[in-house]
Amino acid sequence: MTNDTIFGRILSGAIPCDEVYSDDKCLAFRDIEPQAPVHVLVIPRKPLPSLKEALPEDAELLGHLILVANLVAKQEGLEDWRTVINCGEGAGQTVFHLHVHLIGGRPLTWPPG
């Protein structure tokens, strides 16, 4: 499986990022258009277009992404934060490589938009 999205190019090293965490399963980096003082994206190294394509064998990876978001939130000194996974264009997904938004550092209202 290949991934020619911007996130695939970040993973390959073709495009630099402001990395905050990396391991063999995922990469976390600061969003270039942050919606809050802390806005980090956690992406799997596996090219998975969205949550729609996730399979039962991806369960461990999906859990790992959430745990990494938790670790990064604590690393960033957040007391409260939001995690978001947009699934599909109508839900606001613009890059079709699964990613978890970690957003915090300011009060977050509900509903989000």
Note the pLDDT tens digit of each residue in 30-48.
999 999 999 999 999 999 9
Out of 64, 97, 99, 101, pick the active-site residue. Answer: 99
Tokens linked to 108: 């977050």
Better pLDDT: 2 or 66: 66
Produce one character per residue of 65-99: b if its CB has 16 or more CB atoms within 10 Å, e if not: beebbebbbeebebeebbbebbeeeeeebebbbbb
The SS3 of residue 105 is coil
Separation of CA 16 from chain center:
16
Q: Would you call 99 a catalytic residue per the annotation?
A: yes
The CATH fold assigned to 6-104 is HIT family, subunit A (3.30.428)
pLDDT at residue 1 is higher than 50: no
The SS3 of residue 23 is coil
Domain locations in the chain as residue ranges: 6-104
